Amino acid sequence: MRYPQLMRPVLTVFFDGSCPMCVREVAAYRRQAPSDILWNNLALPGLQIPVDRRGYQPDPAVLMKRFHVFSSDGLWLHGAPAFVLLWRRLGWMWRALASIGRLPGGVWLMDTVYAGFLRLRPFLQRTVRSVVSEPSVIPQVMIPAIRSDHAGETGAVWIYRAMLLWSRDQQLRPLLKEHAEQEQQHLTAFNELLPWRFRSRLLPAWRLAGWLVGTVAAAGGRRWILATIAAVERFVDRHYQEQIDHLERLVASDPGADAMQDGSLACSSGMCGNTPLSPHHLLGVLNRFRSDECRHRDEAQQLLAEPIDSRAQTGNRLADRSWSSRLLERWCGLVGWGSAVAVRAAKII
C-alpha cells in the first residue's frame, strides 16, 4: 500500500464526468492515487470553481474542454502540465511517464499530442457511448451463441481471403469467391445483430487463425482446400443445428410469438433499430445460414470425389497423394478440434 507523504499539500483534479472516456481514465488514476488528491466532477451541478492566487477563475465550460488541476500552491494548470503534476503522485509507471516533461521540449510535445487527441475526442466519445449503450436485439439467452457465430463467420471470411490470395487453382477460384461472398454476407448480418460490446474480445485472434488455416490449405493445393472447407463446414453444420434445436424449443414454448421464419433479415435494410428479434425470426436467420454452409460442404465434398486435374496441382509441394492423405486427414481433424475450442472460447470471451 502506498501512503501519502506527511503533510503533503492537496492536489485537486477537475474532470468531465459526462465523458465516458474521461471517467474511465480517472478511474484508472484513482486506483493508484493517494488520499491527498481530490477529484471533482465538473458535470455535477453547483460545483464550486476556486479562484487562484492571481485572481483567475475559469469558466466551467472552458474547464470541460481540457484536463485541469488546481495545484497546492493555488494555481490552475491545464493540459500537459496538469497531467505531469498528477502523474508524479501516482504509481511508478505514471511517474516514469511524467519524467518526459522534464526533458527539453517534453511538455511541448505532450501538449501537442494532447491537442491532437482533443480534436478526435468528440468522435471517440460518440463511439464509446454507442458501444457502451447500444442494446442488443438478440434474446439475452442467445447472446453467447450468436457471439460464437459472429467469431466463426469472422474466421471463415479470413480463411477464404487467404485461399484466394495464395491459391493458383483457376478452376477453384469462382467457387472460392462465391463462398467468400456468402460468408461476408453472414458476417455483415451478425455485425448488425450483435453490438460491439457483446462481440468476442478475441476477434484479432480469430482473424489470424482463419488466415493461417486458409494459408496452409492453399499451400497444400486443391485437395487440401476442398478438404479444409468440408471439415470446417461439417463443424459449422453441427454448431448451427444445436442453436436451431434450442430455438425451436423456445418457439414451441411461446406459440404466440411472431411467426417470421423466412430468414429475411430486416436489419440488413436498416429497419431493425432496437426492436428485439423474436426467436422465430432468429430461427429463420440461422436456418438460412446453415443451409448456405451445408451447400458449401456438399460442393467441396463433391469436388473431392472427382478425378483431380494434374495441371491444377503443378507447383504444389504438398500435393503428392502418396504421403499427404494421412497428413490431410490429421489436418482436417485439427481444424475440427480447433473450431470447437474457438467456439467455446468465443462464448465466454
pLDDT of 268 reads 44
Mean pLDDT by 10-residue block, N- to C-terminus, for the chain (349 residues)?
A: 53 82 82 85 82 84 82 86 88 85 86 81 63 60 80 88 84 86 86 77 83 87 87 87 80 56 42 56 82 86 67 46 70 81 80
Task: Output the pLDDT for position 272.
Answer: 47
Give the pairing type, strands 11-15 and 37-41. parallel
Label residue 276 exposed, middle or buried (CB < 10 Å: 0-12, 13-18, 19+).
middle
Q: In angstroms, rounded to a whole number, what is the distance separating the alpha carbons of residues 124 and 60?
A: 22
Per-residue pLDDT, 255: 57
CB atoms within 10 A of CB 293: 25
HEC sequence for the chain: CCCCCCCCCCEEEEECCCCHHHHHHHHHHHCCCCCCEEEEECCCCCCCCCCCCCCCCCCHHHHCCCCEEECCCCCEEECHHHHHHHHCCCCHHHHHHHHHHHCCCHHHHHHHHHHHHHHHHHHHHHHHHHHHHCCCCCCHHHHHHHHHHHHHHHHHHHHHHHHHHHCCCCCCHHHHHHHHHHHHHHHHHHHHHCCHHHCCCCHHHHHHHHHHHHHHHHHHCHHHHHHHHHHHHHHHHHHHHHHHHHHHHHHHHCCCCCCCCCCCCHHHHCCCCCCCCCHHHHHHHHHHHHHHHHHHHHHHHHHHHCCCCHHHHCCCCCCCHHHHHHHHHHHHHHHHHHHHHHHHHHHHC
Residue 336 CB partners (closer than 8 Å, separation 6+) = 231, 232, 234, 235
Crossing angle, helix 106-133 and helix 80-87, to 10 degrees? Answer: 90
What's the pLDDT score for residue 225?
Answer: 87
What is the structure's pLDDT at 134? 55
Burial 214-239 (b: 16+ CB within 10 A, else e): bbbbbbbbbbbbbbbbbbbbbbbbeb
What pLDDT is attached to residue 120? Answer: 75
Q: Please report the pLDDT score of residue 130 as a whole number.
A: 56
C-alpha grid cell for residue 245? 434445436
pTM: 0.56
Q: Which domains can be identified in the chain, with CATH numbers?
A: 11-132 (no CATH), 137-348 (1.20.1260)
pLDDT in the model for residue 307: 55
pLDDT value at residue 306: 63
